[in-house]
Each structure stands twice: as C-alpha cells, then as structure tokens.
Structure 1
Amino acid sequence: MHKITLIPGDGIGPSIVDAAIKVIEAAGVQIEWDRQVAGMAAVEKHGNPLPDATIESIRQNRICFKGPLTTPVGGGYRSVNVTLRQAFNLYANVRPAISFEGTDTPFKNVNLVTVRENTEGLYAGIEHFIKVDEEKIAAESIAVVTRKGSERVIEFAFDYARRAQRKKVTLVHKANILKCTSGLFLEIGREVAKKYPEIEFEDRIVDAASMQMVMKPGIFDVIVTTNLFGDILSDLASGLVGGLGLTAGANIGVDAALFEAVHGSAPDIADKGIANPIAMIIAASMMLEHIGELKAARAVEQAVRDVIREGTHLTPDLKPGSTCGTADLAQAIVAKLG
C-alpha cells in the first residue's frame, strides 16, 4: 500500500483528478490518499494558498499527485507551483512529448523528453524596481545559475537517458550572449557528458533549437536546459503532440516528487463535465513508474494510447463536436484495463 498526498486542485482539477484515480484503481494499484488543499481552494478554506498541513503531508509521504492550481491575483501571493518546487527542492522537471496515433497534428513521430532545471534561473524570484534617473523607473530581474544546481539537473538528464535507454542528450543554452549564466551551464554540461561516453552529447543555442524543434523534431531525444528555456521549450514540444491536454510533468527532488498535469485550471469549463483528463492520467502513469508499479504504469499508458487511436471516446478539445465528457473518456480507459 502506497500513501500519497493528493491535491485535487482548482477549476477542472477535482474532476480530472477523480478520473485519474479511477484509472489507477482499475490498474490494480492500492493507494491510501492523503487529501490536502492548495491554491484557491486553500485560500477559501484556510486563507492561505499553501497551508502548513499540505506542506507537512508532502514532507511525510514524499509523493504528491496534484491537479492544476490557481494562484490568487494580488495579495502578494507567489505562484503555488513555484513555491512547492522550491520548498521541496524539486530540481528536475521532466516533460515527455511523445506522439499519439489519432491526434490531429502534422507531427507524427515526436519522441523527446525535456528535463528542465526547476528551482534557479530567472524563476528564482529575485527581481525589483530600480530608479535609473529622476523620472524613469526600470525593473530588474536576476537569473541565478549555480554549479551545484546545474550539475545535479544535467546528471539527472544523463541518468534518465541511461535508464530509459535513450541515445542522446541535447543541452540548450544562450551562452553566446549570456556568457556567465548560460556559459556556466554549458561548461558544466560538457564536463558531465564525459562521465557518460555511451550517450551522445550536443549543445544547441535556444533560438536555433526552437526552430529545429518544429522543423525536425526527430533530431531531439533528451533535452536539458535552464528554467525559463525549459518552460518555453517543453510547451512547444507539447504543441507538437497535440497540446497541453496530452502532456504531464514530474517534478523530482532528492526527498520528494510531485506529479501533475501541466495545463491550467480552466475555470471557464469547470463543472461542465467536458474537461480532458488525459494529461492527469499520463501523470498518474509517470507516478506509478516512479513508485515501482511498472506493469501498471505501462498498462495505463497503453490504454490511453488505444483510446486516443480509436477516437470514439474523446472530449471536445480532441474531437470537435464530440459529446463525450470527462467521465466517458476515463471509463473508456478503465475498460481497456479491465
């Protein structure tokens, strides 16, 4: 029996999380869910978007399954997602982008994984306003790239490639312009690559890599990059395979791991029963693999692929005009596992 912190989330979160739980149960994995709240649901209940009880639950259970959260506007609230990553030092964000047969996209053979440094860079949150003269105000943001942070995420990317039997790691940077921050990341990447002679290593400048990703996505295997670049490139990769509704993410640290759909809480369609639960179900598959339930993880992934390929139980975002809802799509996946 696995004990896992469960955060249903905001907007469509509770419905897609419920769908994913049904799929996990159908896969035969026994989990004791420790239900907690964060985001707007937590503000409404506790006046705090990230209550101490939620933090303590994740600290104790070390695994968290999380729906999309809404960070309150105003009031000085930081992004709950960023706060969670930094609170538990979830330094590696892993985002697979693998083509699904049956999706309406011209890219049919995408198979890449973005490993994004998750706690440093421009998202370290070090920014302020400065006075440049008597009348003009400027805003300044500081990117933090450390040797320790760079080494651990680059080593994670190579270890991931080795475990997954992938052949190449591409480090994406802007060292031609950002000679200190990107330059350090690239320097460390070249050092780490020497420890993995069986894995091909290359580096690409981020703007060129972006162009190449949409022209020749097949040249990429595992991408490792800094926080901001990884945020952008992983969403770009999601677009190649059908969008954020088909993309999940894992946030991995030494002492904890958090699994989530990477799209937002979509309050405009909350409680309408039409939200696409696939990203959340793929997140469940990634989580099952992480906790050692490999057979169940592969079964869930295959069931998702079978349902998408057949195309008869897809939500309207995947099949315009469809009357299939969240529960219908989840039940179709459950049926494949039966």
Structure 2
Amino acid sequence: MAHRVTLIPGDGIGPEITAAARLVLEASGAPLEWEVVEAGEKVIPEFGTPLPPHVLESIRRNRVALKGPLTTPIGHGFRSVNVALRQELDLYACVRPAQTLPGIKTRYEHVDLIVVRENTEDLYAGIEHKVGKDAAESIKIVTREASTRIVRFAFELARREKRKKVTAVHKANIMKFTDGLFLACAREVAAAYPDIAFEEMIVDAMCMKLVQAPENYDVIVTLNLYGDIISDLAAGLVGGLGVAPGANIGDAAAVFEPVHGSAPKHAGQDKVNPLATILSGVMLLKHLGLNEAAERVFKGVTAVLREGKVLTYDLGGNARTSEMAAAIAAQIA
C-alpha cells in the first residue's frame, strides 16, 4: 500500500533540495505518493498568508510531510511559519540526529546522538512584555504534561532505535521551579524504563562535555531553548547544518525538514548540498516503518560521500545539487 506524503517545496533553495530528496527516496523503491502543496513567502500574494489552510489540511489528512525551508517575511506581521506549523498541529517533539558521516570534514569521528527538544512551551512560548521603558520581562512556562510527554517520547525513541542511554538536560540548580519540574518528570518517566540508562546533566556542563567527548551521549532530551542551542552545537560536531536533518513530531502528524534555512541568495543555482533534506527523508521512511528503504537511502548517501567524486561545493566538490542526488539514486539502484 502506498503512503501518501505531503510535499512542501518551500522558498529559496527549497524546490531544488526537495526535488533532490524526492528523486532519492523514489529510487529506494519506497511506496510513496506525493501531494505537492505550496507554502511560505511565495504564496502570500495569492492567499494573504504564508501558511494557507489547505496546507494544514493536507498534512492532517496524510499525517506526514516532507518540507523544504520556508521564509518568514520580516516586518509584515506574519509569525514564523515553522512555529505556526508546530502550534497548529501540536508537533511537540523536535527530533534532530547528529551522526558522523564519511568524507565530511570534522574533528570528531564517532558521533551518533539524537537531540529531542520540547517544542511547545518554555521561553519560546513568546509570553513577554515591557516593564516600563527600560526593562522587559519574558515568562518561562513549563508544565508537567508537556515535560512528561517529551521525556516519554525520548525513552520510546531510544527503545525503538536500540539506544542505551537518555540524558535529561536542565538548569534546575538555578531555576528550581520550572527546570525543577521538568527534572522531576524526567526522573518519574525514567523509572518506567529500567532497560535504558538515565542520567541528568546541567545545560552548561552538557555543552562542554559534548565538545569534549560527544561519543559518550546517545539520546538527549531537554526543554525548548536548551534544545535549540544544543541541536545546533551537535550539528557543528558532525559538519554543520548542511548535514543536519530534523523532524517535528506529534501524535497526529509529523513534518520532516532540513534544519538549515532557505538561503535565497543561492536559489535557482542548483549548487546547494541536498544531504540535510535527503537525511530528513530517511527519518520520514523510518517513521512510516519503511526501514529497509531507509537503510538503502542511507547506504547510498554514505557510498557517494566515501567515493568523494560527486559532491557539492560546500563538501569540497563541484557537482550540482541534481548531480549529487542522481549519484545517490544510482548507488541505491
């Protein structure tokens, strides 16, 4: 049976890298049917919004989407399209793997970790206001419900991926009520997973230890702000945002996308590295239970990287986006 997937090409370089990912995923033999819908800056003249209702309806109907990067206009009153998607679809878990790949220049050799970030609250809830003319205040929201479900999500992911350890990252030594609540929930959930090791780490120490010895970490679960920072740090360990896939997952839908932005200055040049989007496609296949197809795609990616002959400029080569995608598809075939 074919799986119907919403495909949002996106802005800037989005159409090129999603086309590359589509070519590669189809080469895997995965039974996918694409429903292409447009969102972002380009649709504002037609719909008056970067996120038209029919886009959300498509994702709700298909329950899974592959999305290119979207541009949120500055100074036009539109909120972030990515934040709006997460809120409208209750995509409460942001999942960002970081894995060392052959041929990618980095100082680290054995990184293979996943950052799980709570997506709905914390300081990113955006509840802030001015206090007089010379001060401002932002309110940090942490709830038992959201903390419990994100930690449980992390443990279930660890069990499914055969991971051995979950690390809960916090600042409860200072923020005893908010981060303290998150940590208490993490301890309660961890007790139900005796087969998976559990540890606690203060966020500043976590950043230091990730730089010192990232191979010691497996699944990291944390609050919204810390997760945003740590996931970019983790991407830096393995070569940068160009090789950083991501997903925003809820109980009723999941949206897979590269971590990097729309890079409008490179749009239409067929030169940008498509790996982050292709690897997001690997995550999508695994989410659908198409593990063999996911493995074929990942092996195709690593084969092309190891060979080193068809790489885009940022990876040390001179191949076009479409050429690198075609080379990966050929390896799969």
DSSP 3-state at the match of 2:16? helix
Deviation at residue 161 of structure 1 after TM alignment: 0.7
DSSP 3-state at the match of 1:153? helix
Deviation at residue 305 of structure 1 after TM alignment: 1.1
- Structure 1 unaligned residues grouped into runs of 5+: none
Aligned match of 1:332: 327
Aligned match of 2:205: 208
Q: Give, in whole Å, the separation in 2 of the partners of 1:37 and 1:143.
A: 34
Q: Give, in whole Å, the separation in 1 of the partners of 2:27 and 2:178.
A: 47
2:300 corresponds, among 295, 303, 314, to: 303
DSSP 3-state at the match of 1:144? coil
DSSP 3-state at the match of 1:24? helix
DSSP 3-state at the match of 2:139? strand
Q: Give, in whole Å, the separation in 2 of the partners of 1:193 and 1:199.
A: 8
**Contact map agreement 2:21 2:277 (CA 8 A) in 1:** yes
Deviation at residue 130 of structure 1 after TM alignment: 2.2
- Structure 2 unaligned residues grouped into runs of 5+: none
Q: Give, in whole Å, the separation in 2 of the partners of 1:32 and 1:167.
A: 35
Aligned match of 1:145: 142
Alignment of 1:219-234 (within 5 A): 219-234=216-231
Query: For residues 13-72 of structure 1, what are the alpha-carbon distances to aligned partners after superposition, in whole Å with 9 as ceiling and x for unaligned?
Result: 000000001011111123221111221122133220110111111111111110001111
Aligned match of 1:271: 268
Q: Give, in whole Å, the separation in 2 of the partners of 1:281 and 1:43.
A: 27
Alignment of 1:178-327 (within 5 A): 178-319=175-316, 322-327=317-322
Query: For residues 84-104 of structure 1, what are the alpha-carbon distances to aligned partners after superposition, in whole Å with 9 as ceiling and x for unaligned?
Result: 011111111111101011111
Alignment of 1:48-127 (within 5 A): 48-127=49-128
Q: Give, in whole Å, the separation in 2 of the partners of 1:130 and 1:43.
A: 35
Query: For residues 116-167 of structure 1, what are the alpha-carbon distances to aligned partners after superposition, in whole Å with 9 as ceiling and x for unaligned?
Result: 0011111112122221xxxx33222112111000000000101111111111
DSSP 3-state at the match of 2:140? strand
Q: Give, in whole Å, the separation in 1 of the partners of 2:45 and 2:286.
A: 34
Q: TM-score, normalised by structure 1?
A: 0.96
Q: Give, in whole Å, the separation in 1 of the partners of 2:4 and 2:218.
A: 33
Kindly report the root-mean-square deviation, in angstroms, between the aligned alpha carbons of the 2 structures.
Answer: 1.0
Counterpart amino acid of 1:140? E
Q: Give, in whole Å, the separation in 2 of the partners of 1:95 and 1:29.
A: 23
Q: Give, in whole Å, the separation in 1 of the partners of 2:208 and 2:43.
A: 41
Q: Give, in whole Å, the separation in 2 of the partners of 1:115 and 1:167.
A: 15
Q: Give, in whole Å, the separation in 1 of the partners of 2:231 and 2:15.
A: 25
Q: Give, in whole Å, the separation in 2 of the partners of 1:150 and 1:332.
A: 43
Q: Give, in whole Å, the separation in 1 of the partners of 2:225 and 2:144.
A: 17
Q: Give, in whole Å, the separation in 1 of the partners of 2:170 and 2:219.
A: 14
1:6 matched to 2:17? The reply is no
DSSP 3-state at the match of 2:123? strand
Percent of aligned positions that are identical: 56
Q: TM-score, normalised by structure 2?
A: 0.98
Deviation at residue 293 of structure 1 after TM alignment: 1.2
Q: Give, in whole Å, the separation in 1 of the partners of 2:126 and 2:12.
A: 26
Per mean C-alpha deviation after superposition, the further-off stretch among 11-20 and 37-46 is 37-46
Aligned match of 2:48: 47
**Contact map agreement 2:299 2:332 (CA 8 A) in 1:** no
Q: Give, in whole Å, the separation in 2 of the partners of 1:218 and 1:5.
A: 35
Q: Give, in whole Å, the separation in 2 of the partners of 1:192 and 1:223.
A: 14
Q: Give, in whole Å, the separation in 2 of the partners of 1:116 and 1:221.
A: 14
Q: Give, in whole Å, the separation in 2 of the partners of 1:17 and 1:256.
A: 19
Counterpart amino acid of 1:283? S
